Structure 1
Amino acid sequence: MLEAKEFDLATTLVKDMMVDAEKVAHVQNSNPLEHALLVLTKTGYNAVPVLDFHGIFEGVISKSNIIEAMFGLERIELERLDSQTVMDVMNDQAPRLHINDTLEEALHELIDYNFVCVVDDDEVMQGIITRRQLLKQYRNEYYKSRQKSS
């Protein structure tokens, strides 16, 4: 994590606070929905990044995307879990941040999302930044500054 004197929303870069891609659960765009649902269920997450075969960030898939895809006219159609892929139902408009964006830019995106993917110049996912991380860091800095003024 960052040292107290280093934390500044306007100058600290997203790459200094992100969770590295190797530690982030994700699915590939060609995976069947069943696989994505298993990943989401086993990890306990509500959403995960979607990557192509080369690690390019393409969007986010959530449990609600999958559940909506299973609704038929008269019943829940479980067979759709095998017949549809992640690409068919993912949110391809999910925001992304660049590794050299600031935490201030991340804060604007994290208002509406629990996490935002961080990409390099080639759109390859480098990691994620989470709302929780940013809030915890901000809280820690707040209490440190209060202790110094006491």
Structure 2
Amino acid sequence: MLQQVNQFRDEIMSKEIGTLIIPKKNVIVIRSKWNLEQALNKLIESGWSSVPVLNDQNEVEGTISKTLILEHARLERVPFYHDFQRKLVHDSMQSHVPTLSEDTLLRYGIELLVDWPYLPIVNKQKKFSGILTRRSVLDYLLKVFYEEVNE
């Protein structure tokens, strides 16, 4: 029985994440050259709390969130909302964000998702292609687990 469980686990965890990725066409992104007002408006309109930040070449530069924008405003003592027009996303974003590729093993993606709500995915040319979310991974694991249990 233990051997079957280990085999089942290894089979699942060695899956490539490609089919679990939310494609870029379904992801809200913000450009690093935008000002904080544009970014905050986009976040509020979209309902997302955090999104990838891309440069003009569609490469991932980091992530930005409502919290990061407000924290930047607090630290910089930005007194009025209109002052957000003078501050750039690049100055407020989290820039050291791990990225994955479509052929990354699920095992590695899960390890990183412990500390990140989502991870940007890049192609071989380092261009943004989508995100891997905790939800997409958990949905997959639940589906696989219940299919295995019901057999």
TM range (shorter): 0.7 to 0.9
Partner-residue secondary structure (3-state), 1:93 = coil
Secondary structure of 2:126's counterpart equals coil
* 1:90 CA drift (Å): 0.4
Q: How far apart are 1:72 and its partner, in Å? A: 5.6
The match for 2:5 is: none
Q: Secondary structure at the match of 2:81?
A: coil
C-alpha distance in 1, partners of 2:72/2:134? Answer: 27
Shift of 1:75: 7.3
1:78 matched residue in structure 2: 81
1:46 is aligned, of 40, 46, 49, to: 49
Q: Secondary structure at the match of 1:96?
A: coil
Unaligned runs of 5+ in 1: none
| 1:20 aligned partner | 23
Determine if the alignment matches structure 1 residue 66 to structure 2 residue 63.
Answer: no
Structure 1 letter corresponding to 2:139: K
Q: Distance in 1 between matches of 2:14 and 2:62?
A: 27
Question: How high is the TM-score relative to the length of structure 1?
Answer: 0.87
One-letter code aligned to 1:131:
R
TM-score by length of 2: 0.86
Residue number in structure 2 paired with 1:90: 93
- Which amino acid is 1:62 matched to? S
Deviation at 1:73, TM superposition (A): 7.4
Q: Distance in 2 between matches of 1:72 and 1:120?
A: 35
1:1-150 alignment, distance < 5 Å: 8-71=11-74, 76-148=79-151
Aligned residues: 143
- Which deviations, in whole Å up to 9, do the C-alpha atoms of 1:54-105 show, x marking residues without a partner? 1111100011110012116777442331111110110001121122211111
Counterparts of 2:77 and 2:143, CA distance in 1: 51
CA RMSD of aligned residues (A): 2.0
- After superposition, give the CA deviation of every residue in 1:24-81 in whole Å (9 maximum; x if it has no partner): 1001000011111111111111100000111111100011110012116777442331
More helix by share: 2
